[in-house]
Structure 1
Amino acid sequence: MEINQMYVNLPVKDVQKTREFWVELGFSINEQFSDEKAICVIMKTDHIYAMFLKEEFFQTFTDRPLAEGKTTQTLLAIGVNSREEVDNMVKTAVENGGSIYSEPQDHGWMYQRAFSDLNGHQWEVMFADMSKIPTA
């Protein structure tokens, strides 16, 4: 089995501020799936999308309550092409209202940093040099 697309759906308080945040990070928006209730951020063209849905709209898709406050239901990990891209993304996220929630981790072959977006969703940004993975 192999999937051909992935849509991650996350609740947000303000769709417009969320749009501005992700555009500042350098991502494009799929306008076909975006409106005043939702924004579709293209993470990888034709394959990976983050759907940020206004909380009230998000709630129409589930009968379970939204996580509130200081809870964590998921950690979202994304890979980029260099250590510099990791640092730049986290820096830009913080400059635009996000926050850092853990210290950087450098494992030699993998470098990772993390930020929370405007709505508290936790994003782990990493670069891995697969040619440097230690062998057992």
Structure 2
Amino acid sequence: MSVTHIFVNLPVTDIAASKAFYQALGFPLNPQFTDETSAYVVVSETIALQLAPHDKFRSFTNQDVPDSGGVISALGVESRDEVDRITDTALRSGGSPTKDPTDFGWLYNRGFADPDGHHFEVVYVDMDAMPEQPA
């Protein structure tokens, strides 16, 4: 078996505000799967977020709309500067901080929640500087 993509479905309260938030982070929308009732946010070639208001999200499942705080999605990036750029942009665009930065020298990350409380961490790992037994 080989998994080729990850599609993360997130319930949101305001689809327009959510679209604007993720676009501010630099993530484009795929117009083939985006309309006034949902948004397909391209995180990378293999990762996408599908945003849907609660009423539409309920059509995806027989379960209750989940609490946004139940999952932390970590986004790996190529530099410390990219960690700061994405996190600072999230905080300026309606997100909120979720924790203090972690800095082990070889690993650096910061966290934010989107306007609906979905928790993300942005992580940079310098594999060349990583100790044999990481902390």
Query: TM-score band (shorter)?
Result: over 0.9
Other structure's SS at 2:43 match: strand
Letter in 1 for 2:86: M
Per the alignment, residue 28 of structure 1 pairs with 28
Per the alignment, residue 6 of structure 2 pairs with 6
Q: Identify unmatched segments of 5+ residues in structure 1.
A: none
The normalised TM-score by structure 1 is 0.93
Once residues 37 and 131 of structure 1 are traced to their aligned partners in structure 2, the CA distance between those partners, rounded to angstroms, is 44
Other structure's SS at 1:78 match: strand
Cα root mean square deviation, aligned: 1.2
Per the alignment, residue 55 of structure 1 pairs with 54
Letter in 2 for 1:5: H
- Provide runs of 4+ in structure 1 moved above 3 Å: none
Once residues 2 and 102 of structure 1 are traced to their aligned partners in structure 2, the CA distance between those partners, rounded to angstroms, is 34
Structural mapping, 1:1-136, within 5 Å:
1-45=1-45, 47-68=46-67, 72-136=69-133
Compute the displacement of 1:107 (Å).
Answer: 1.5
| CA distances 1:2-41 after superposition (whole Å, capped 9, x unpaired) | 2111100010011111111111111111010111111011
Q: Identify unmatched segments of 5+ residues in structure 2.
A: none
Once residues 3 and 133 of structure 1 are traced to their aligned partners in structure 2, the CA distance between those partners, rounded to angstroms, is 28
Other structure's SS at 2:91 match: helix
The normalised TM-score by structure 2 is 0.93
Once residues 82 and 2 of structure 1 are traced to their aligned partners in structure 2, the CA distance between those partners, rounded to angstroms, is 28
Compute the displacement of 1:104 (Å).
Answer: 0.2
Aligned residues: 133
Letter in 2 for 1:93: A
Once residues 109 and 21 of structure 1 are traced to their aligned partners in structure 2, the CA distance between those partners, rounded to angstroms, is 29
